[in-house]
Structure 1
Amino acid sequence: MNVTRDKRTTRWDDHRRSRRAELVDAAIQAIRAHGAGVGMDEVAARARTSKTVVYRHFADRAALYVAVCERVAQVLADGIQAAIETATGAKARTAAGIEAYLQLIEQDRELYRFVVHRPLVDSTPGDPLADVVTMLGDQAATAIAGELSRAGLDPAPAPTWGHSLVGLVRGAADQWLAAPAGTTRAELAARITEFAWAGLSGVTREKP
């Protein structure tokens, strides 16, 4: 059964979507200003409104956290994809994707820590962070499948290798942020690329 919504109930939909996006922007600005441990009071203050208004658009703190995660995931995915598309050759594309990920989290460390440590969330169904990692893993799998296909190989293992690659990069990046030990982003990117390429070059059969 198709039910047509009254225009009086739909005319504010664009406004609500726009207002939600503005509140997510405010939350991100508050995170950058106050750090990953930001609270709802700081978010509301940055949005120049009250917590009541924030909760009018987000059912609870977890809902706002999920919205921020979705924004971060899209920024990461778009940045990595853009970097990969400008590179030529399988190793160069691998290096570009890793470098883009590290660059984005280095530039926005507190936002990344916010996503990882979930300060606004006491408990919530599902795991928004896992969704972010899954999205990036799927993106990597698609890129690897393309390399395998170009090499005339079966792309079936691509999901396994793609998600493994994302796990490798994320693990190294988390350790680096916690204890950089004088390692620059460029150095870290080169180390991860060499380690990852040692495996990927074997399965794609392409010379570095």
Structure 2
Amino acid sequence: MTKPQQDAGDGRAARWRGQREKRRSEFVERALVAIDEEGPDVSVATMAVYAEVARTRIYRHFDDSTDLKNAVARRVAAMMLLEYAPVITVDGAPHAILTRAARTHLDWVTEHANLYRYLMSFSPAAGEVRRAISTAVSDMLHPYLDALGAPTTATPLANALIGMVESVSAEWIDRPGGTDVGALTEQLAAWAWALVDTTMRSRGAVLDPDSPLPAPGDLRT
């Protein structure tokens, strides 16, 4: 039989863990505001100002500055994934799918440029979000490439698409060079389609970019 003292101790520990997680979440939310307004190089001291606490109070809930910064970066990654999940789909024509995905990404990095820069500066979280998006895109492409006898091509193609969009958009948010979001969306969609089309044609399949995607088993060759 559990002793009353043990029950009380376990209850206090659970309440402390819950309170700690709540406070961590609150600090991360205020850090997001600080980064958004002050830039990706914002210090922990500035984050503490936005949280309206002494800097030392933050370290009651985080192991160190790296723990805090990684928690913030992972929250940004989660925000991105939540936004992108609905557009990683095969519903519609290829050009429409690629345009929708490119525009979603560009709209997000435009609205949250400093958060995006912050995320990209932390390799563990940046790597995690890249892998998550790559896996989703690869899973979308895999049935088609499997039907064409090239299932192992799905992941490299997904990585190529993501790498292109990421590198182009990262440069664009710092140096747009007169290119607006609509024009860049169309360029990215066209370049992405060129990669997909070339890959499909190399396996004997020809797709119409403006017609709904067929089922993988109905690919026109």
Question: TM-score, normalized by length of structure 1?
Answer: 0.84
Structure 1 partner of 2:32: 28
Structure 2 partner of 1:193: 189
Structure 2 partner of 1:179: 175
1:129 pairs with 126, 129, 154, which one? Answer: 126
RMSD: 2.3
Question: Which entry has the higher C-alpha Rg, 1 or 2?
Answer: 2
**Which stretch of the first structure deviates more once superposed, 189-198 or 133-142?**
133-142
**Which stretch of the first structure deviates more once superposed, 75-84 or 96-105?**
75-84
Indicate conservation of the 8 Å contact 2:94/2:193, yes or no: no
Indicate conservation of the 8 Å contact 1:30/1:43, yes or no: yes
- Specify the code of the residue in structure 1 equivalent to 2:136: Q
- Specify the code of the residue in structure 2 equivalent to 1:107: E
- Specify the code of the residue in structure 1 equivalent to 2:189: T
Q: CA deviation at 1:203?
A: 3.1
Unaligned runs of 5+ in 2: 1-6, 210-221
Indicate conservation of the 8 Å contact 2:73/2:118, yes or no: no
How many residues are aligned here? Answer: 197
Is the partner of 1:68 in helix, strand or coil? helix
Structure 1 partner of 2:59: 55
Structure 2 partner of 1:91: 95
The ranges of structure 1 where at least 4 consecutive aligned residues each deviate by more than 4 angstroms after the TM superposition are 151-154
Question: TM-score, normalized by length of structure 2?
Answer: 0.79
Listed as ranges, the matches of 1:42-191 within 5 Å are 42-85=46-89, 88-117=92-121, 127-148=124-145, 154-191=150-187
Structure 1 partner of 2:208: 207
Unaligned runs of 5+ in 1: 119-125
How many percent identity over aligned positions?
26
Q: Distance in 2 between matches of 1:14 and 1:191?
A: 47
